[in-house]
A and B are shown apart, each in its own frame.
Chain A
Amino acid sequence: MKKLTPPLAILATLLFWSCIGDDFINDFVQPEIRLSAAPDSLTIDSSFQYSARYFNNVGIESDVDLEWSSSDPAVASIDQTGMVTAHALGTVDISARFDDGMNPAVASVSLHTAENPIVIVEEEPDTLVGRIETTTFYVLEGDFTLYEDLDAGTIVLSIADDYRASSALPGLYVYLTNNPNTIVNAYEIGEVDVFQGAHEYVIPDVAIDAYSHILYFCKPFTVKVGDGEIVEP
């Protein structure tokens, strides 16, 4: 068998080395429980079914068995399906909890019990805010507001006048996501084509509280450029 000549050996080594490798990203986010809309008052001897969504340590919604509890079961008790029943006058904290073994998550809400059959439904937040900030050396910053357009049945991401972004970076996209580290399971709003000043994105078929962050992501680099947490005003 003939030996490989040095140039061919080098070439063969380089071709082997040019295989696709693996990059790793720390995409951990703190698990989160989001309680759905609920009354802040419940008539004695009546019941209400709570519901909640659990987002795991990479921001993906998962089906888990939540542990429901009441801070005072004598005032209002709750079973493990989330059904709460008022028994006496008072105020309790209703909590949903889940522990994946390393990262416990809990969400709580206050509930008043009342003698009168008055139920005040807690309103959904219809306007949220935040600030976009770069996580790279590319310029990206600006305030934003996320609000519901009830007539159109959409939500609107309104970027403020102080917004500016580098136009040097191609393939820059904006997303809604529950994990600001990746675009996996994120909602792609669209490609960025405004790099300075106020502008809006109309987003259909998305609930205003469905995502926790706005994410700017460069597709060609497969790298995050910046983000902004969506919070209440």
Chain B
Amino acid sequence: MLKRILFAAILSGLAISLSAQGPWAQPQGKGFFKLSEWWTRFDEHFTDQGRRDPNLTTGVYNTTLYAEYGLTDRLTTIVNFPFFSRNTMNNLISEVNGEVLVDGEAINGPGDAEIAAKYTLTQRGAKVPFALSLTLGLPLGEDAGGRLGNLQLGDGEFNQLLQAHIGSSFKLGNTNAYWAALAGVNNRTQGFSDEFRWGLEGGINFAQDKLWAILRIRAVHSFFNGETAVGNTSTSLFANNMEFISPGIELNYYITPTLGVSAGAAGAVYGQLIAGSPGYSVGVFLDVK
């Protein structure tokens, strides 16, 4: 059965700020752990023509555990698990007589998870480290809930994302800064088109190493080699072949050398078949160095 969803866009795209983009590995036995809430609420979406059209207001809320752990100085394992996910759709009410035309509804449960391994090919301390990562998307979330099967906590497909990461840290005056870039291919199943993904990121440190401000751009381009809506009997939310370019910002503030809080936002400046409103996140993290 062909699955067509918004969630692919949200989980693998606009929410990707939760995951590490750089080539740096966690030292052996060290890790980074984060509990966060990510959400978006949108009443319009990007069409297949890249234009904005209205839709019934839809909300997606993920409470997520994210963990990076260094198995060795070069091999880092990553888990991204939205253990509580909620998808809502509003009531639709007549302006003329106040009658409820369509009852709103919601579903709750675990969302799709990701597990990944990132291997840094260069030596620790290299000026321009380079890494490869393999991410597996696990379809743990409900992909066809609600009366019409259009409420979703996951995309219902198992995907494999192979990415290359490169970056470098440097000094900007007395301030620490870095840049990173990635590119990769996402092999998707269940009739979804495969994707080319890329990203750029830059971060700068303020307040005596306590505050990191990060700007990033993420993009997904479809190979358009999956199925279309023709002949599809599913009434899921969004079509296959979604695309976007999404700038975002994230602030991470270290309250102590290991404990911190973060906040971020990301939206799409270009998109096809994805939500038309930004996603936001707040979280608390442990950086075990």
Contact = CB atoms under 8 A, between A and B. Distances in A.
Contact of B150 (A14, A27, A191, A219): A219
Given A21-B104, A25-B95, A136-B47, A223 B230 contact: no
Interface stretch (B25-33, B72-80, B84-92, B164-172): B84-92
A14 B39 contact: yes
A23 B284 contact: no
B111 to A, nearest CB: 14
A22 B273 CA distance: 23
Contacts of B229: 167-170, 172, 195
B96 interface: yes
A166 B48 contact: yes
A19 B236 contact: no
A20 B90 contact: yes
- Counting chain A residues whose Cβ lies within 8 A of the other chain, the interface size class is 35 or more
B4 A170 contact: yes
Contact of A170 (B56, B94, B232): B232
Contact of B55 (A15, A24, A139, A222): A222
Contacts of B96: 26-28, 57-58
B53 interface: yes
Contacts of A138: 47-49, 53
A137 B49 contact: yes
Interface of B: 4, 35, 37, 39, 43, 45, 47-49, 51-57, 59, 61, 63, 86, 88-97, 101-102, 104-106, 148, 150, 228-239, 241, 261, 272-273, 282-284
Interface of A: 6-7, 10-11, 14-15, 18-28, 57-58, 136-139, 166-172, 182, 184, 191, 193, 195, 219-223
